[in-house]
Amino acid sequence: MKKQEMIDNDMLVIIDSVWQYIVAAVAVVVWLIRLENKAAEAHRRIDDAEEQKQKDVKQWERQRMEDNNALQTFRNETNAQLRELRDDIRRYFDKVSK
């Protein structure tokens, strides 16, 4: 029994001298795990932002194409009206000049 008590005392002395280091090591491991989780979350947010950016760019491109098509249609209609007006003016001047 004496030998067992000596071993227990030796263990207590060892634990008493290094418990701060053990607690510090556990704290560092916990901190590193939390840091890794934060980094992973940041990467997910960056990926989500990139995906949203690509969706927005595609939407803007579609909207721009629609706007350009609408503008082209408007220009064509305006040009047709101007041609018609020009032709009417020419006919009028031709009638007046005869």
Q: pLDDT tens across 27-80, in order?
A: 999 999 999 999 999 999 999 999 999 999 999 999 999 999 999 999 999 999
**Interval 5-31 mean pLDDT:** 86
What are the tokens at 18? 């290094």
Residue with the larger pLDDT of the pair 6 and 67: 67
Render the burial of 83-96: b for 16+ CB within 10 Å, e for the rest.
Answer: eeeeeeeeeeeeee
Give whole-number Cα distances, 38 to 10, 24, 46, in Å.
41, 21, 12
